[in-house]
Amino acid sequence: MNRFQFVADHQRRFGVKQLCQVLGIARSSFYYWRKTAPARAARQGADTKLAARIRRVHRDSDGTYGVPRITAERVARLMRSLGLAGLRLRRRHRTTIPDQSAAKAPDLIGRDFTATLPNTKYVGDITYLPVGGGKFCYLATVIDLCSRRLASSALADHMRTELVVDARAAAER
């Protein structure tokens, strides 16, 4: 039960003014709530019908259709209340094609991502950033495991070995 319903249920005994003061709500808010009750009831009835349709569409699409594809705020609200969510199927860009004959890089850190002294253990990553027109920039970063801070980075329009080498060299300076 919400506060407005409580006021409506007990207004004859205690009065609207006193109940609103005790509950910390404005009287105008209570009267607005009471005035809009028929519209809320109609919307709730329509929402029940719409919720049944949403469940059916969600089930028939194997869970892929949801808010990201339907995009109505009302549908989003109803799906949240039903505990439904659509899957976001995004295309993955393949930015590298590994050489199958190349040797695998050894794990020099041994899955131990801690360091007691600065500049003794570094880890790195490389990511692509879309810049428009189907083109990408590539960002290589090096992080010091002792301080967990960015030690260096390098940005280029290619993803060749020298990008990572430049980032690593900058970390040692």
Residue 10 binned pLDDT confidence (cut-offs 50, 70, 90): very high
For the chain, give the mean pLDDT. 85
Using a pLDDT cut of 90, give the percent of the chain over it: 43
* β-sheet with 149-156: strand ranges across: 122-132, 135-144, 149-156
- Compute the distance between CA of residue 68 and CA of residue 59 in angstroms, rounded to an integer: 16
- Compute the distance between CA of residue 139 and CA of residue 168 in angstroms, rounded to an integer: 12
Using a pLDDT cut of 70, give the percent of the chain over it: 89
pLDDT in tens, 41-71: 888 888 788 778 878 877 877 776 665 555 5
Domain assignments of the chain as residue spans, ordered by start: 3-60, 122-172
- Compute the distance between CA of residue 103 and CA of residue 91 in angstroms, rounded to an integer: 29
